[in-house]
């Protein structure tokens, strides 16, 4: 049985790490309470990507936090990652599932309501609602969906959902209140002076907000 917790999902970005290694960022984030980590690399060789994935796997093992690979099924297979995250321009879901097997986590980005409707036909493990807000970390994204976008998508989707894009401690609570199961962050942790402290603060906000929604 696959079991994972979407509540605080870190997506890496080497260019936003202020010169620190991803191993450092990810280890600190793990200490601070992130529940999933996605390795995203767009400009390195396959060998570097593989080596980076193996390093992060080692960092995350003591914390039992799943490592998810962005886009690259070959890397996910090579490092036996816990899962793969695919976007609308990546490998078709059916093929990814066939090659990865049913025990791995597969997440899919949805960029509009129709994507989420289409995703209901697929046995993806979660959807990433993207982008929630405008974000400096990706320049090739669809228009921002906003909190209303999350509400609409969560209402029709049969999958657990995480919001991504421009999320930080000032708006994290609203993402959960809008119905998402978690938040996905890049720069809010990766570019923080103290990534562990940044994760702890987000963790605290999420825990309090989840408690509120349960008590409502």
Q: Which residue numbers belong to the known binding site for Mg(2+)?
A: 71, 90
| Closest to a copy of itself by CB, 121 or 148 | 121
Among 78, 122, 177, 200, binds a copy of itself (CB under 8 A): 78
If one asks whether residue 118 binds a copy of itself (CB under 8 A), the answer comes out as no
Pick out the residues of the known binding site. 38-42, 70-71, 90, 109, 135-138, 166, 186-187
Residues 18-37 as x/- pattern, contact with a copy of itself by CB under 8 A: --------------------
Cα separation, 23 vs 67, whole angstroms? 12
**Cα of 118 vs its chain's centroid, Å:** 20
> Do 99 and 90 touch, CB atoms closer than 8 A?
no
Phi, psi of 17 (to 5 degrees): -90, 5
Quick count: other Cβ atoms within 10 Å of Cβ 24?
Answer: 12
Among 3, 45, 114, 148, binds a copy of itself (CB under 8 A): 45
Stretch that binds a copy of itself, among 9-17, 24-32, 82-90, 113-121 (CB under 8 A): 82-90
> Do 186 and 137 touch, CB atoms closer than 8 A?
yes
DSSP state at residue 66:
P
If one asks whether residue 64 binds a copy of itself (CB under 8 A), the answer comes out as no
| Nearest to 176, CA basis, from 208, 200, 152 | 208
Cα separation, 57 vs 65, whole angstroms? 9
Q: How far is the CB of 91 from a copy of itself (least distance, A)?
A: 5
If one asks whether residue 112 binds a copy of itself (CB under 8 A), the answer comes out as no
Tokens of 88: 């609308």
| Closest to a copy of itself by CB, 58 or 194 | 58
Site residues (CB under 8 A) for a copy of itself?
Answer: 45-48, 50, 71-74, 77-78, 88-92, 95, 99
């Amino acid at each position: 049985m696959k079991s994972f917790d979407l509540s605080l999902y870190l997506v890496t970005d080497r260019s936003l790490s202020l010169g620190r290694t991803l191993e450092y960022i990810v280890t600190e984030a793990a200490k601070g309470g992130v529940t999933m980590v996605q390795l995203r690399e767009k400009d390195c060789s396959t060998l570097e990507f593989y080596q980076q994935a193996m390093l992060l796997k080692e960092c995350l093992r003591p914390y039992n936090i799943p490592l998810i690979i962005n886009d690259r099924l070959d890397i996910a297979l090579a490092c036996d990652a816990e899962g793969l995250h695919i976007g609308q321009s990546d490998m078709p879901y059916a093929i990814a599932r066939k090659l990865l097997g049913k025990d791995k986590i597969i997440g899919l980005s949805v960029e509009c309501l129709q994507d989420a409707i289409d995703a209901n036909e697929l046995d993806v493990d979660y959807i990433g609602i993207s982008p929630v807000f405008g974000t400096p970390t990706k320049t090739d994204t669809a228009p921002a969906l906003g909190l209303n976008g999350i509400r609409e998508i969560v209402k029709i989707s049969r999958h657990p959902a995480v919001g991504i894009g421009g999320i930080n401690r000032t708006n994290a609570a609203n993402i959960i209140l809008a119905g998402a199961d978690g938040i996905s962050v890049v720069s809010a942790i990766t570019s923080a002076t103290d990534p562990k402290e940044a994760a702890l603060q987000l963790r605290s906000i999420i825990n309090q907000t989840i408690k509120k929604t349960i008590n409502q």
